[in-house]
Amino acid sequence: MTERMRRGRGLAILALLVSIVALVIAVMAYQRTGARMRVLEDAWQRARQETADALGRVEELVRGSRERQR
């Protein structure tokens, strides 16, 4: 029974070490892509603002033509 417990304890320690290494790799990957995500987010915000501006101009054109028809 003690041999089984030692083997189980050894496997638990190995699993802990593997999970810590995986966590470190995940953090490094997140930090590496974090800068790219900020660039994409900025581009997305600019595109969103430009789309909103364009829709605002279209709305003004449509409402202006409606008012002229009345």
Q: pLDDT tens digits for 26-59?
A: 999 888 887 677 888 899 999 999 999 999 999 8
- Exposure b/e, 43-63, CB count within 10 A at least 16 = b: eeeeeeeeeeeeeeeeeeeee
Nearest to 30 by CA among 38, 42, 18, 19: 38
Q: What is the pLDDT confidence band of residue 10, given thresholds at 50, 70 and 90?
A: confident
Cα angle, residue 14 at apex, residues 12 and 16 outer, rounded to 5°: 70
Report the pLDDT value the prediction gives residue 33, as an integer from 0 to 100.
80
Q: What pTM was estimated for this model as a whole?
A: 0.47
How far is Cα 41 from Cα 46, in angstroms, rounded to an integer?
A: 9
